[in-house]
Structure 1
Amino acid sequence: MKLRVFHQLQVAHSALFRAADRRTRQTVGLTTSQFAVLFVLSQSDAQPISEIAKRLSMGKSSLTGLVDRMVERGLVARIASASDGRVTNIHLAPSGATLLARAKEETKHFNAALLAPFSDEEQVVIRRFLTHLVDHADEIINPATTQSGGYDD
């Protein structure tokens, strides 16, 4: 029986993030997308939406609405760039940092629960596989054409 990795990854991703979203909404009051934005800002504050969107692999228009809601809740703030008045940077607000700390505790639970059934050796393989996907996704899905300019049959 052949393993349908691509399909299984898509199904696993959807199920995992639905469950994580439900839990973080209940326990912290954040969606996983909001948590991701706060996490990115905690690593490097004062970023334009375009940079956050790139780091999260999200569309800029989707992220704009998300950030609007986060501004309304006081989790982040929009502040004009001191170096370029045309750019508005997103900043982590103190209340966002507080919720982020709580959400990070939730992700520790997620990681422990995800890895619990696997040995240390298996966890090394899982890490290697996931790193491989991150580092090579585009070339895996969009392989270069052959030297002649055609595609292999």
Structure 2
Amino acid sequence: MSRALKVFHQLQIAHSALFRAADHRTRNQIGLSTTQLAVLFILSRTDGQPISEISKTLAMGKSSLTGLVDRMCAKGLVRRSPSQADGRVINIYLEQLGRDALEEGARETKKFNTALLAPFSDAEQDIIGQFLTHLAENADDIINAPPPSAKGDAGND
């Protein structure tokens, strides 16, 4: 099997291993899961988002995210507040404890990034960045592109 055929599987395994290790570390170091930390990062960019927007950004179900936000509210990291534009919508806002946890989480994330990229040259790091950006921006097209034409593909299975 060629290396190109293994990339998707390797990404899946790497993602699982990386986030399992990161989740373990962030829980031990700052008392938050990586998903809770991700919510804080999202709110730091645009505070006061509805759960539906946060769930889209995280590619997470609204019901799962609601439970996560409940736990974050109980810890004093975030608060819910009705939208001024539409009272049916509840927006999520950072609280000071959440900002403090976010600072700690940013330091941890910086350590993760440094460790991830340490074995690679600057040029290789640029390629890694291009690859990851390409995946993020084109994932749907990459996965859902029509199959290549059968013309000339005989014997390549």
TM range (shorter): over 0.9
What is the Cα-based RMSD across aligned positions, in Å? 1.3
Match of 2:141 among 135, 139, 142: 139
Q: Which residue of 1 aligns with 2:76?
A: 74
**Structure 2 Cα separation of the partners of residues 117 and 105 of structure 1:** 20
Q: Give, as a single letter, the amino acid of the residue that structure 1 aligns with 2:87.
A: G
Q: Give, as a single letter, the amino acid of the residue that structure 1 aligns with 2:27.
A: R
Match of 1:9 among 2, 8, 11: 11
**Structure 1 Cα separation of the partners of residues 126 and 87 of structure 2:** 46
Match runs of 1:1-153 below 5 Å: 2-3=2-3, 4-144=6-146, 152-153=149-150
Q: CA deviation at 1:111?
A: 0.2
**Structure 2 Cα separation of the partners of residues 144 and 80 of structure 1:** 44
The runs of 5 or more residues in structure 1 that have no matched partner are 146-150
Secondary structure at the residue paired with 1:121? helix
Secondary structure at the residue paired with 1:74? coil
Q: Give, as a single letter, the amino acid of the residue that structure 2 aligns with 1:77.
A: R
Q: Which residue of 2 aligns with 1:148?
A: none
Q: Give, as a single letter, the amino acid of the residue that structure 1 aligns with 2:2.
A: K
Cα shift readout 1:27-78 (whole Å, capped 9, x = no counterpart):
1111000000000001000010000111112111111111111111111101
Q: Give, as a single letter, the amino acid of the residue that structure 2 aligns with 1:85.
A: G
TM-score scaled to structure 1, two decimals? 0.93
Runs of 4+ displaced beyond 6 Å:
none
The runs of 5 or more residues in structure 2 that have no matched partner are 151-157
Q: CA deviation at 1:144?
A: 3.9
- Give the number of aligned pairs: 148
Q: CA deviation at 1:152?
A: 3.8
Percent of aligned positions with the same letter in both sequences?
Answer: 62
**Structure 2 Cα separation of the partners of residues 135 and 85 of structure 1:** 33
**Structure 2 Cα separation of the partners of residues 115 and 106 of structure 1:** 14
